Amino acid sequence: MTKKSQRGFTLIEVILALTIFALMGMVLYGAFSLGHSAVEKSQRSFDNNQKVRAVDELVGSYIRSAYPYRSSPQDATLLFEGEPAELTFVSSFSLAMGGRGMAKVRLFWEGDERRAGVLRLEEETPVRVLSEEESEGNQGIRNSLVVREGVKEFRITYLDPQSEEEKWEERWDARERSTLPRAIRLHYLTKENREVQWVFPVMMNLLGQRS
């Protein structure tokens, strides 16, 4: 009776197989980790872009709804103060009141020529024009929002509605003009030195004109 030969795996073959499986596992894990990181990065970028667009639209809603507000029917002065780095006006859009209602809005840049700063927006409700006897502490509810960080070379310009040509002014004094600008342009550089320009039309500028 002949004895059948039996052949099994040697120790070297077992170690080699385990090594191959380990290498394959490392490759698969690396590919999965890389893909997962790419998905997370893409999601973060998408979320940031969504937030940027939402803030842009919010600023546009305030400016497009700029209202020719007067403290009284007898007062010819409009509450609209436009400077190169700061703008104060009354808007018929109010975030605090669910999108409807009057709000006093201040858009301003906390920076200078030497350093980047924060672009900030403040909303105050209800709208109040304080006299000299009244104090700042008597004001209503004020909310603040950071529009952008790392903003450089920020400036605001104002489109003259009474000019036949496209004429942008560095300042807009509504006490002298008795009307709102036709549009407001915001221009700045990001911290990556990317140029950004927003132009928002003022929908109710004609209501501010006195016959």
Model pLDDT for residues 105-120, shown as the tens digit of each residue:
999 999 888 889 999 9
Note whether residue 11 is domain-resident.
no
Note whether residue 75 is domain-resident.
yes
- Residue 115 CB neighbour total at 10 angstroms: 9
Note whether residue 87 is domain-resident.
yes
Domain boundaries, position 87: 59-208
Supply the DSSP symbol for 204.
T
Note whether residue 118 is domain-resident.
yes
Tokens of 131: 């006299």
Note whether residue 39 is domain-resident.
no
- Give tens-digit pLDDT for 182-199: 999 999 999 889 999 999
- Please say whether the beta carbons of 202 and 179 come within 8 A: no
Q: What are phi and psi of 133, to 5 degrees?
A: -80, -20
In this predicted structure, the answer to whether residue 3 has a pLDDT above a threshold of 60 is: no
Q: In the chain, how many domains are there?
A: 1
Supply the DSSP symbol for 3.
P
- Give tens-digit pLDDT for 116-141: 999 999 999 888 665 544 455 556 78
Note whether residue 34 is domain-resident.
no
Tokens of 26: 């490392």
* pLDDT of amino acid 211: 43
Cα dihedral sign for 87, 88, 91, 97? positive
Phi-psi region of 178 (alpha: psi -120 to 50; beta: other; left: phi over 0): left
Q: What are phi and psi of 46, to 5 degrees?
A: -65, -45
* pLDDT of amino acid 76: 64
Q: Where are the alpha helices (DSSP H) in the chain?
A: 11-64, 174-177
Note whether residue 29 is domain-resident.
no
% of the chain beyond a pLDDT of 70: 76
DSSP 60-107: HHHHHTEE---SSTT-----EEE-SSEEEEEES--TTTTT-S-EEEEE
Note whether residue 110 is domain-resident.
yes
- Please say whether the beta carbons of 153 and 111 come within 8 A: no
Of residues 164 and 3, the one with the higher pLDDT is: 164
